[in-house]
Amino acid sequence: MLYLLIKALVSGAIVATVSEVAKRSPALGALVVSLPLTSLLAFVWFYRDAGDTESIAALSQSTFWFILPSLPMFLVLPVLLRAGLGFWLALGLCCLLTVSLYFAMSWALARFGISL
């Protein structure tokens, strides 16, 4: 239980730090957000828990394929916000777009024999 608490605190501290950095410098905040910190933390925690490098390799490969359909959100969100949509509506629409693209990516990869 202590280990789970440590994982949560370390992960949460990184998110809080990014939020604070972004308040002072949006560009620096964007740089930190663009780093694969979540993925790296997941790899480290997963390796420490299981020690199974093949599972980590599969996780890493699947992560790559799921990053691609998430990228349009970072272009669509500012367009929607600048067009006057409220933050929550724009964010919700971007989430729907991303989920739709995840399904499309999964379908397309399956057609090429790539299973995630």
- What pTM was estimated for this model as a whole? 0.72
In the chain, the number of structural domains is 1
**Does 102 reside within a domain?**
yes
Q: Which residue segment(s) compose the domain that 83 sits in?
A: 52-116
Whether pLDDT at 92 is above 90: yes
Render the burial of 83-111: b for 16+ CB within 10 Å, e for the rest: eeeeeeebeeebeebbeebbeebbeeeee
**Does 30 reside within a domain?**
no
Whether pLDDT at 94 is above 90: yes
Q: What is the mean pLDDT of the chain?
A: 89
**Predicted confidence (pLDDT) per residue in 7-63, tens digit:** 888 888 888 888 888 888 888 887 777 778 888 888 998 899 988 899 899 889 988
Which residues are CB-neighbours of 68 under 8 A, at least 6 positions away?
105
**Does 105 reside within a domain?**
yes
Give Cα 52 to chain centroid, integer Å.
22
